[in-house]
Amino acid sequence: MADADTLTISLDSWEGPLDLLLGLARTQKVDLRAISILELVDQYLDFIASARDLKLEVAADYLVMAAWLAYLKSALLLPRDPEETPSPEELALRLTLRLARLDAMREAGARLMARDRLGRDVFTRGCPEGLQTIRRTRWDASLYDLIAAYGRVSARSRPVLHVVRQRPVMTLETALSRVSAMLGEAIDWTAIECFMPEGGEALWRRSALASSFLAALELAKQGRIELAQDAPFAPLYLRSLA
Amino acid sequence: MTPPDERTRAIEAILFAATGPLAVAEIATHLGEREGIAEALERLRTDYAGRGLNLVQRGEHWHFETAGDLAHLLRRDREDSRKLSRAGIETLAIIAYHEPVTRAEIEAIRGVQVAKGTIDVLMEAGWIRPAGRREVPGRPLTYATTPVFLDHFGLASRRDLPGIDELRAAGLLDPVDLALEQVSVEKDGEDD
Amino acid sequence: MTPPDERTRAIEAILFAATGPLAVAEIATHLGEREGIAEALERLRTDYAGRGLNLVQRGEHWHFETAGDLAHLLRRDREDSRKLSRAGIETLAIIAYHEPVTRAEIEAIRGVQVAKGTIDVLMEAGWIRPAGRREVPGRPLTYATTPVFLDHFGLASRRDLPGIDELRAAGLLDPVDLALEQVSVEKDGEDD
């Protein structure tokens, strides 16, 4: 192969078997898609053979490719085995496509690098003053925040003054005298609610009920009255024992 | 915009890419010739008159710069709203109620030290100002509020601030949670 | 040169003063309004066509740069620091034309392994970035180009990549079928 001989017999200059194959394919000086695969296989095998004749160390992957190409060549030349998939033609086509794709990317890379590049061929402004963003803080506080803060400070620093508020309660003493007095008039079982005073606010009425209940327990303990209830939480009845 | 001649275009690009104003001799070095530079600069000056950037001459040097009337666009002001810290608002409240007041007095009322940054923030906000020195040993600086303060808080004068009794009536001296009173009648009456 | 309207002047000044390419949204922040920016940019592009500096769009960003044909006057020889190896150039081209693409796919196209440093150099230049993982066994990382890449190579978008339409039409940018390529590459262990 005269063409192959013009390529330097130096495996170092190739980036692997595919690169070498592409280099050999280019010597056919035709569209990559129209190259003769059989011719390319022969070129490759000759190249590897001559490299070995020169006693050059040939890397394993080049030999693997050589073996695969030798297989491809024989498959292309020998009678078809219809069971064989992929077919040798398909394998050959795929190899052509791979070479075309590598070639295309190599070409694209070269075209990319040849473009007018920023900072090498084209330039942005040499001394831009730049755009500034001045940040300012707007402090936020409402009048309520202000007086509430003063209230907080004052509450913290002023002498603490305790004022006990008058609470609406009926004391146990009052309840005892009320219930004792009312029992004197009652003859039969009477519900405890009947001993409640009329009117008054709700809190005071609840206090009166609680105190009257305690008063009833106290009077029962003294043996002055009897208590009766059908079930837990059922109405509570009182009756004088006198 | 009529496309300029080649020499003018070249000078335009050289001036734009330069890292500083250029003298005619420096332009000539880049251009590789001395001819016609003055005319080209004149043409560029006219071309850019009234645009967003202008060609200007400073002494012997030429450069492009942003049109002076557009300088405000190059600085963008951004306002960030921030809530005043608890220390900040308490210090401000004490100054408002007690002015003029020294830092030591503020600390005595707050019961905690006042960081320098707190006073700075209130000054920066324009709400307080130094209000002379107290004629006591050490002559400490006093602080008072400003008209900006009244403005911000919608007050006609400092007298509009609620007094202690009003604060108490408004429950602001009494941090007891009213909801608690409903639940536990026993706690009732523990007023402070 | 007809003096432009105020909005166009303002955008001209903003782009001129900026230290980098600006997106329309950034221009709007400085301008204080969003209206009419696209029209003004178009007007500026036309105004500067054929001058020594041009307004160009790179991806979503706009900036002024010197005209490409004046490179000989301005060229700064930084080739040495930025000189890419052949492997680097090919890898960049493969990523740009096929993105997002995995390392295995790059290797299948090149027929050799991609040395560790190759990807690093491209990342360091700011031209490529990791672009998520491919949902296949092993979940390999994919790579894609960046806005800086478009900027550096003067591309308005990836559609402007030289010859990309022809390559796509010829099927040369079809997804790489790793399983098929494996037939003849599986033993390739050469490093570049």
Write out the DSSP string of B114-131: --HHHHHHHHHTTSEEEE
- Burial label, A102 (beta-carbon count in 10 A; 0-12, 13-18, 19+): buried
Integer Cα distance of A210 and C157 in angstroms: 86
- Report the residue of chain C nearest B2, measured CA to CA: C1
**Which structure tokens are listed for C4?**
């432009």
pLDDT for A58-78, tens place per residue?
Answer: 788 889 999 999 999 988 888
Integer Cα distance of C86 and A216 in angstroms: 107
Q: Answer yes or no: are the C-beta atoms of C103 and C181 closer than 8 Å.
A: no
Buried b (16+ CB within 10 A) or exposed e, A192-211: beebeeeeeeeeebebbbeb
Residue A122 DSSP one-character state = B
0.85 surpassed by complex ipTM: no
A154 touches chain B (CB under 8 A): yes
Q: Which residues of A touch C170 (CB under 8 A)?
A: 100, 104
> What's residue B144's pLDDT?
94
Q: How far is CA A225 from CA A112, A175, A178, A213, A234, in A?
A: 111, 15, 14, 12, 19
Judging by DSSP bridges, how do beta strands B75-83 and A132-140 pair with one another?
parallel
Backbone angles phi, psi at A166, to 5 degrees: -65, 125
**Which structure tokens are listed for C114?**
């991609």
Q: Which B positions 59-98 lie with beta carbon below 8 A of chain A?
A: 63-64, 66, 74-84, 86, 88-90, 92-94, 96-97
Q: Which residues of C touch A70 (CB under 8 A)?
A: none
Nearest CA-CA distance, residue A204 and chain B, Å: 11
Q: Could you tell me the pTM of the whole model?
A: 0.64
Integer Cα distance of A169 and B183 in angstroms: 16
**Which structure tokens are listed for A102?**
């590598």
Tell me: pLDDT of C114 over 70: yes
A19 vs C187: CB contact, 8 Å cut-off? no
**Which structure tokens are listed for A47?**
């190249």
**Sorting pLDDT into bands at 50, 70 and 90, what band is C123?**
very high
B185 vs A203: CB contact, 8 Å cut-off? yes
- Report the residue of chain B nearest A164, measured CA to CA: B189
Tell me: pLDDT of C188 over 80: no
Which among B188, A123, B12 has a CA at the least distance from the CA of C56? A123
A143 vs B97: CB contact, 8 Å cut-off? no
Residue pLDDT tens, chain B, 192 long: 567 889 999 999 999 999 889 999 999 988 888 889 999 999 999 999 989 999 999 888 999 999 988 888 887 777 778 888 999 999 999 999 998 999 999 998 888 888 888 999 999 888 999 999 988 888 999 999 999 898 888 888 888 888 877 777 777 766 443 333 433 433 343 333
**Sorting pLDDT into bands at 50, 70 and 90, what band is C80?**
very low
State the CB neighbour count (10 A cutoff) for residue B69.
Answer: 12
Q: Answer yes or no: are the C-beta atoms of B40 and B54 closer than 8 Å.
A: no
- Burial label, A231 (beta-carbon count in 10 A; 0-12, 13-18, 19+): exposed
